[in-house]
Amino acid sequence: MKLKTGQKCAFGFGAFGKDIVYMLISSYLLYYYNVVLGMSSVFIGTVMMAARIFDAFNDPVMGIIVAKTRTGWGRFRPWIFAGTVLNAVTIYALYATPESMGDSAQRVWLTVFYFAWGITYTLMDIPFWSMIPAITEPGSDREQLTSLARTCSGIGDAIPTVLTMTVVPILGAGSSMADYRIGFKWWALIIAVVFVISELVCVVCVPERPVACDEKPGKISDMFKALFKNDQAMTVVVSIILVYTSLNICGNLVLYFFRFDVGNEGAYSIFAAVAFAAQVLVMMVIPLLRKRFSKSQLFISGFVIQIAGFAVILIMAFAKLYTPQSWYILCLPGILIYLGYGMLNVIMTIFLSDSVDYGEVMNGTREESVIFSMQTFTVKLASGVAVFLAGLVVDWIHLDTAAAVQTQDTLDALRMWMTIPSVILLIVGIFVFKRFYKLDDTRMEEIKSKLN
């Protein structure tokens, strides 16, 4: 089945809305509860890590449920719609903590609704990405849809990252923490509404097709066996964990970096806009780059470019090459980091879709939902681990969020924690990929011919 242009755009719009809400949670929830509400960063990180442990069981089960679903509307679309509506409610609730609540009640509120957010996000995210291998064949059509979807999701990532710290004071009519509290509530509501609209367009406009191979993973144990037998899917899953964790560690600390080290919190929005523009641009040109380079070459290049970006920002920080007025020099490493990430993000999704076809040829079962449940889990795991570590780091380095000036030791530690762990994870990612991934372009052509 070949998708029409309008159907591809509808799928891209769904990716856009999905990542708007994800980025609002992954980038700003720690900041909101720690800085705005004054909650312990260690407690916040612990809650998020506990939620990820729960996801280790919840996400694969959801993958099985999706795989077993048979409705007149398809396997995927009912779950996308239901999960979206429920998730939108939890997003608003997380940023609408009642002012009358005491500290203990706020902690309960965060715990309940963060777990609810993770569960409902799983409901829609697994079936959403599972649609790609189900509605496309290996080759250019799949790569074009993946590139479009990841480009749109990159734009979705950029919206809250770039606009939040500008929009929140406007919506809250001030810059005090009480004003920020109001601003975050209204901003979350706006994003939740956009989210629902985007997914509604997606489920109405994007058709499903029947799969050639019946999908019957009867038990959880069967699902794990199918996944672990698919060595290529496991390699991609490990790569996803490493790439997302490396970026999210930096992403959760960079707001503190701009506020306390650079001394210009307002500049973060422009910095993020430039970085995300680079990400979106490279995602858009992946189909063009594929005409000259293999997927593996682009993947390794993404790792190297990201590592260079983290190295440059660390050097700039210790050389103190920026001031509150000359902060814009930091855009250079920001561009490098997000250029590399954009390349990795698109190619990882293509690799994961290819591993579905590989699994069908090798094992006789087609496990879109099961394999993409691992993507959903690993993305959330990376986010949870990163927030947990960021929360611990804020505590370890004695960063006082109520103080305008931090000690030099605190700033030095912030710079190192924001960059060095990310570089280490990316180096490990290169090793894992080169050692274990085997689905090059030639192998995928062979698999495509067997499936046809």
CATH of residue 346: 1.20.1250.20
When computed from its CA atoms, the radius of gyration of the chain, rounded to whole angstroms, is 21
How many alpha carbons fall within 13 Å on the CB side of residue 452? 11
Token digits of residue 450? 């067997």
Token digits of residue 24? 């609002």
Q: Terminus-to-terminus CA distance in the chain, angstroms?
A: 12
CB-based contact 62:127 (threshold 8 Å): no
Q: Residue 5 has what pLDDT?
A: 87
Q: Residue 110 has what pLDDT?
A: 97
Q: Residue 186 has what pLDDT?
A: 97
pLDDT band at 217 (very low <50, low <70, confident <90, very high): very low
Q: Which of 216, 207, 240, 283 is nearest to 372 (CA)?
A: 240
Rounded distance between C-alpha atoms, residue 166 and residue 158, angstroms: 13
Q: Residue 415 has what pLDDT?
A: 96
pLDDT band at 419 (very low <50, low <70, confident <90, very high): very high
Q: Which of 184, 152, 150 is nearest to 166 (CA)?
A: 184
pLDDT band at 356 (very low <50, low <70, confident <90, very high): confident
Least confident window among 5-19, 82-96, 222-236: 222-236
- With a pLDDT cut of 70, the percent of the chain lying above it is 96
Q: Which of 142, 121, 259, 253 is nearest to 192 (CA)?
A: 121
pLDDT tens digits for range 251-265: 889 989 999 999 998
pLDDT tens digits for range 88-140: 999 999 999 998 899 999 999 999 999 999 999 989 988 898 888 878 777 77
Rounded distance between C-alpha atoms, residue 119 and residue 128, angstroms: 15
3-state secondary structure of 402: coil
Residue 56, pLDDT above cutoff 70 = no
**∠425-423-407 over CA atoms, to 5°?**
120
Coarse DSSP helix, strand, coil percentages of the chain, rounded to the nearest 5 percent: 80, 0, 20
pLDDT band at 376 (very low <50, low <70, confident <90, very high): confident
Tokens 């919190």 found at:
265
Rounded distance between C-alpha atoms, residue 377 and residue 369, angstroms: 12
Token digits of residue 413? 């530690």
- Taking CA atoms, 347 is separated from 37, 245, 292, 437, in Å, by 39, 17, 15, 13
State mean pLDDT over 296-312: 97
Higher pLDDT among residues 110 and 55, named by residue: 110
- 3-class DSSP string for 289-337: HCCCCCHHHHHHHHHHHHHHHHHHHHHHHHHCCCCCCCHHHHHHHHHHH
Q: What string of DSSP letters covers 344-411? A: HHHHHHHHHHHHHHHHHHHHS---HHHHHHHHHHHHHHHHHHHHHHHHHHHHHTT--TT-S---HHHH
Q: What string of DSSP letters covers 224-247? A: HHHHHH-HHHHHHHHHHHHHHHHH
CB-based contact 302:286 (threshold 8 Å): no
Q: What string of DSSP letters covers 2-40? A: PPPHHHHHHHHHHHHHHHHHHHHHHHHHHHIIIIIS---
Size of the chain in residues: 452
Token digits of residue 351? 């690799």
pLDDT tens digits for range 159-202: 998 899 899 999 999 989 999 999 999 999 999 999 999 999 99
How many alpha carbons fall within 13 Å on the CB side of residue 120? 21
Mean pLDDT of all residues in the chain? 88
What's the domain count of the chain? 1
The alpha carbon dihedral of 244, 21, 89, 387 has a sign of positive
Token digits of residue 12? 């891209």
Higher pLDDT among residues 96 and 377, named by residue: 96
How many whole angstroms from its chain centre is CA 170?
Answer: 27
User: In terms of residue numbers, what domain contains 82?
Assistant: 5-451
Cβ neighbours, 10 Å, residue 41: 25
Rounded distance between C-alpha atoms, residue 374 and residue 233, angstroms: 9
